[in-house]
A and B are shown apart, each in its own frame.
Chain A
């Protein structure tokens, strides 16, 4: 019974990883095409649909971690996916004024390169049982550049959106009300920016630790 479940688990994870991989390949190709043909302002419109699909699918990964299907700690996946969803839906989708900015291009390229490597890495592991060492190296090395470029793009876009957020009442819930509750999207966005301050070094050092572990295993093998 146990080995039946583990086979089903493997097939599911293999399909999941390769499917999302395909989404991100689309994002990268459309982005480069738009850059070549029209320039940075056109990138968002070209990638919107596959970007939203691929990024939102990542919610499944939190569930995978919670139910123990994969070993990644929720403390590492939640902030990463949280920030991605916030930027994708809470900033780019909700405030179109940000879509033409050049940071969208750097964002989309950083994200897609990282995810293409990550999903193919896990996809191979599940489907074939191993990953080639060059892919392992890529998975644990490209973040050294792509995390800073991605995080800078995310922070930059949130910052650019701030005046539009302040001027709009979108997602705001005001007082007075019976439960003395309020939600101000502008303050919430400031709080998110604040979280990047301790959050980014935390994620980066976590990956550095993972890199050390993974590459030393490679040397030993």
Chain B
């Protein structure tokens, strides 16, 4: 069979098309495209069926595991037109996460250990370090170390790669907020809260971090590749009551940190992070409810909190 490869503007990407055996998979097609075009490795390719005029909705994305012939129209298994889009340079998700988390892990202790505040005009010499500041540094570093370890040992990613531009955007977000919070918690003029308050804050935060880890382990075991595009209804532990229990525990974990350290910077970060995660959670909840609609033998998605009981 011949696959005609066009760009979204209609131009032929590979002149003459690509010749494949009738039983070829989409993965074979991707490798053939890579061989012909040299720079478009498979994770950079987005292959879709052409949209028909007057038909709305998202274009059909070709799945690497399927056979190319699955996408052919009935009676026309000798050729297929596929639309190609270059997704730009890609990095592995694990690479992206590693660099976003490495920043805060390294930057925060810099503010704790090094006499940086004299560059901001503060006398750094006779400062006393409050116990809460030390514990905050341990807590913060534990958190980001945990994230890095989860990236390499626990998470299973739905997409293997992410655009390179996301590295810059995400690192800017994490590294800037990391520095912003580290500056205030380690400041020579920092005012600690009562011992009771920070003990409660850190204890609560740690509890949430452990819960969060457990949530990630549950999610990892959910990803069986066979049914429903890899999606299953999450269940067990907090997932029985909240769709995105992993985000919930993450948010409350930051709340614990803020209760203990009490900075405006920390709370600003909490609000922004919560907004971002809530956005993701709404999308995921919607997707799961759409997929598990109770029809055709599929189970119906149960009524659950989206992300933040008791609010939402």
Contact = CB atoms under 8 A, between A and B. Distances in A.
Contacts of B185: 180
A75 to B, nearest CB: 15
A179 B190 CA distance: 9
Contacts, number: 28
Contacts of A180: 184-185, 187, 190-191, 261-265
B189 interface: yes
Interface residues of A, dominant DSSP: loop
Contacts of A176: 189-191
A175 B184 CA distance: 10
A209 B187 CA distance: 46
Contacts of A177: 191
B118 to A, nearest CB: 15
A178 interface: yes
Interface string B175-219: 000000000110101110000000000000000000000000000
A197 to B, nearest CB: 13
A36 B264 CA distance: 51
Interface in A122-179: 175-179
A5 interface: no
A179 B262 contact: yes
Interface size class of B (residues with CB under 8 A): 10 to 19
B187 A175 contact: yes
B266 to A, nearest CB: 8
Contacts of B190: 175-176, 180
Contacts of B187: 175, 180
Contacts of B184: 180-182
Nearest to B192: A180
B134 to A, nearest CB: 16
A195 B185 CA distance: 26
B92 to A, nearest CB: 27
B189 A179 contact: no
A94 to B, nearest CB: 21
A141 to B, nearest CB: 28
Nearest to A180: B263
Nearest to B183: A182
A55 to B, nearest CB: 28
A89 B47 CA distance: 52
Contacts of B264: 179-181
Nearest to B191: A176
Contacts of B189: 175-176
Q: Which of A179, A180, A181, A182 gathers most chain B CB within 10 Å?
A: A180
Given A176-B189, A176-B191, 18 more contacts: A175-B187, A175-B190, A176-B190, A178-B191, A178-B262, A179-B262, A179-B263, A180-B184, A180-B185, A180-B187, A180-B191, A180-B262, A180-B263, A180-B264, A180-B265, A181-B263, A181-B265, A182-B184
28 contacts: A175-B187, A175-B189, A175-B190, A175-B191, A176-B189, A176-B190, A176-B191, A177-B191, A178-B191, A178-B262, A179-B262, A179-B263, A179-B264, A180-B184, A180-B185, A180-B187, A180-B190, A180-B191, A180-B261, A180-B262, A180-B263, A180-B264, A180-B265, A181-B184, A181-B263, A181-B264, A181-B265, A182-B184
Interface of B: 184-185, 187, 189-191, 261-265
